[in-house]
Structures are given as C-alpha cells and as structure tokens.
Amino acid sequence: MIEPVQIIALVTSVFLLGLVLELVRRKKLTEEYSFVWLICAVALLAVALGRRLLDRVALAVGIYYPPAALLLVLIFFVFVASLSFSVVVSRQRQQIERLIEEAALLEARLRELDSSSSIKTKPSVTPAS
Amino acid sequence: MRVLILIPAYNEASSLPQVIADVRQHVPDADILVVDDASSDATAALLPQLGVRWVRLSQRLGTGTAVRTGLRYAAARGYEIVVRIDGDGQHPPEEINRLLVPLLHGAGDVVIGSRYAAGRTAATPPVRRLIHRMLAEVLSLMTNQLVTDPTSGFWAFSEQALHVLVDHHPSGYPEPELLLFLNRNGLRVIEVPVEMRTRIAGRTSLTPQRTWSAMARLLLLLVVVPLRSAVEGNRD
C-alpha cells in the first residue's frame, strides 16, 4: 500500500525534475548547477517508488517508521545542495574580488599611460627664425 | 633598490596628506602608492592632488584585498621591496628604515614593525592588549617563532615574498592569517621594535561586530591554514 508521504514525495520529485529541466531549457539554470538538483529529484523518486528499498534503508539505519527515512533523504539532499551552493557563492566572491582588483589596476595603468603620453606629445617650442 | 610604500586607505582623507608628507620627508627615494578601498569620504577626490601613484577599488573589499592589489601593482612594475603602512598615521614613516634594514641585509623575507617587541609597551586599551597577547602566544606556538604584535599592519615585504603574495595575500583583516601563511610556506618573518602613534583622524573600521567576526574567522583559520598545501611564487 502506498503511504501518503510516498505520494507527496513522488509528486515533489516529479515536479522538481520537471522544474529543473524547464529552467535548464530556458537557460535560467546552467547545466553545471542543475546536476545536484537532478540527482536529488531522481534519488527521491527512486526511494518513493521502491518501497522495499525504503524499508530496507530505514531498518538498516534504525528508523522504525520507513516514511520518515524519506524525509531524511530529502533533508540530506537539500543539505548537500546548500553546501554546494555555498561553495559556488564563495568561488564567485573570489572571482568578483579578482575582477574588481583587475579593473582598478587596469584603470591605474591606463591613467599612467595617458599621463605619460600627454607629456610626450606636448608641442615642442620652436625657436623663431 | 626600488621601494614602494603601500598605503591601503578607507576614509582617510583627513590624515592622508600628512602621512604622505611624512613619508616623503623620511623616505624620499621611495615611490608611494595609495590603494583606496572605495572610500565614501573625500579620499577619491583627494588622490589626484597628492602627487602619488594611486589605485581605486570600485567596491569595498577590505584591507587584505587592498594590500593584495597594491602588491600586484608593485610586482607588475618591478619593485623589489614593498612597505605597507596604514593611512591613519599610526605607523611613523621615520620607522620605515628600521624595517628596510633586515631586508637589505637578507636577514628575512618579511619584516613586521612590532609595538610590543623588546619589552615595549603601547597605549593600547587593556581588553585589546589582552586579546593581542593571547593571539601572540597562540601564533608563537603555532609558527615556532616569537610573535609579539599579531595585528600590526606595519610590514615590509621582500621581492620573494611579494611574488608569493600577489596571488595569496589573505583578504579581510589579514595579519594573523598572513603570519600563518608565511610560516606554512617557509618564508622568514622577523619582528623589529617600532614606536607607533595614535591615529591622526577618523575611526578604526574594527567595530565590535567586525571584531567578533574576525576572531571567529581566525579561530577557523588557525586550524585550516597549517593544513593547506604550500604554494609557489608567481613570477609572471
């Protein structure tokens, strides 16, 4: 018999799968960052459909109410996704810092080149004949 | 020997002219670079009038990143020594030569001006002094060398250190992490005693919230930095 929580998990995973694919199709989510969500959706789907697998996993980790294991799997994947996005945000912060540094250094270089070329191109004074 | 005096500055318009005049007086052969960390006061308008080299960051990135920007500027232009001093006037330019001497004699790769070295005392508030002392003990233990002033911003870098730090100088409030990093990478750090002054004007950027945040970050770094791999210098 299918538990209500399994139906919720099934609907959630199918919805998540569809949503992620649609976001990738519209190029609002890049492929690189979609994988963690796709794995999350597929894992949830597998556990929701495979009742016996769920029972076995729950028993192995000492959970006496198997549908609770489903929520645990969901929480685990959300945790992994959050951590992976923290890594992405950290990396992007470093990239932004480096870009700001580069822009400032280039601006300084340009200013110095401008000032040196304006000194060189000053009209020379020619003695009157 | 080409020397660059690097001054990271955030809202230091009131003190910068005096600091720069003092540097010119005491180290006349050195070039001066101000890295403006997106100041919101008159610093940006002031820079072109000071007759120094300057770089302005478009967003505030913190002292560590401002210093790294200055080091990259120096490395790209072939400077052999970079001396970092604060823009608030706390680091007297007459003490710069004390930092240069060990570098010129090859006694170290990095020299720190310490207000507490050789038994000196400074007019530091008691709680801050206690934090400095505890941090100094921990860093001395971890780096196996005497650290007396773990938050001093008065540093001199040799060319070798410069080429390592252009890519790896820490961000945020960088000094304790920098000590750990230099030790991890086998660069020789020595301290010399210096006198420091109170700031000419303005306020410290270290609010209580930032102090706690910096300390929490430091606790994590004390564990993590010694576990990181050593890096190679950038000679590009």
Distance CA(B114)–CA(B206), nearest Å, equals 19
Find, in chain A, the residue whose alpha carbon is nearest to that of B54. Answer: A108
Closest chain B residue to the Cα of A103, Cα to Cα: B57
Q: Which two tokens stand for residue B96?
A: 């710069």
Q: What is the pTM of this model?
A: 0.83
pLDDT of A101 above 70: yes
CB A74 within 8 A of CB A9: yes
Residues B159-183, mean pLDDT to the nearest whole number:
93
**Which of B4, B12, B34, B25 shows the shortest CA–CA distance to B199?**
B12
Beta strands B110-114; B53-56: pairing state: unpaired
Which residue among B57, B76, B171 places its CB closest to the CB of A104? B57
The rounded distance, in Å, linking the Cα atoms of B222 and B177 is 8
Lowest mean pLDDT among A89-93, A112-116, B191-195, B202-206: B202-206
Q: Which residue in the block uniquely carries the two structure tokens 């002094």?
A: B129
B79 three-state secondary structure: coil
From the list A97, A100, A105, the residue facing B73 with the nearest CB is: A105
Which of B57, B107, B111 is closest to B82 using CA atoms? B111
* CB-CB under 8 Å, A101 with B72: yes
Interface test with B, best of A91, A96, A105 (most B CBs within 10 A): A105
User: Which band of pLDDT confidence, cut at 50, 70 and 90, is reported for residue A123?
Assistant: low
Helix, strand, coil share of chain B (percent; to 5): 45, 15, 40
CB contact under 8 A, B56 and A104: yes
Q: Mark yes or no for CB contact B58/A108 under 8 Å.
A: no
CB atoms A105 and B76 under 8 Å: yes
Contact at CB, A101 and B54, closer than 8 angstroms = no
Say which residue the tokens 């694919």 belong to: A21
State yes or no: pLDDT of B148 exceeds 60.
Answer: yes
What is the signed CA dihedral for B183, B34, B85, B235, rounded to 10 degrees? Answer: 30
How far out from the chain centre does Cα B103 lie? 16
Confirm if B138 and B215 have CB atoms less than 8 A apart: no
Residues of B within 8 A of A104 (CB-CB) are 35, 55-58, 69
Q: What is the distance between the alpha carbons of residues B173 and B5, in angstroms, rounded to a whole number?
A: 19
Whole-number Å distance between alpha carbons of B205 and B210: 8
* pLDDT at A127 exceeding the cut of 60: no
The verdict on a CB contact (< 8 Å) between A104 and B55 is: yes
- More reliable by pLDDT, B18 or A129: B18
Instruction: Find tokens 């963690």 and name the residue.
Output: A36
CB contact under 8 A, A100 and B55: no
The position carrying tokens 């945020």 is B172
Chain-centroid distance of CA B219 in Å reads 20
B10 token code pair: 């955030």
Q: Are B213 and B169 in contact (CB under 8 A)?
A: no
What's the token pair of residue B163? 């080429």
Q: Which residues of A touch B59 (CB under 8 A)?
A: 100
Per-residue model confidence (pLDDT) at position B159: 95
B186-200 average pLDDT score:
88
Domain B3-227 -> CATH class: alpha beta
The rounded mean pLDDT for chain B is 90
**Chain B closest CA to A94's CA: distance in Å?**
10
Task: Give backbone dihedrals phi and psi of B150, rounded to 5 degrees, phi first.
Answer: -75, -10
Contact A101 B68 (CB under 8 A): yes
**Residue A129 pLDDT:** 45
- Closest Cβ opposite residue A105 in set B59, B69, B171: B69
| Backbone φ/ψ region at A35: left (φ over 0), alpha (ψ -120 to 50), beta | alpha
User: For the segment B69-128, what is each residue's pLDDT rounded down to a tens digit?
Assistant: 999 999 999 999 999 999 999 999 999 999 999 999 999 999 999 998 877 777 777 888
Q: Chain A neighbours among B 118-177 (CB < 8 Å)?
A: 171
Structure tokens at A44: 């949830």
- B58 touches A: beta carbon within 8 Å: yes
* CB within 8 Å of A49: residues ≥ 6 apart: A10
Contact B57 A112 (CB under 8 A): no
Residue B36's H or E segment, with its range, is strand B31-36
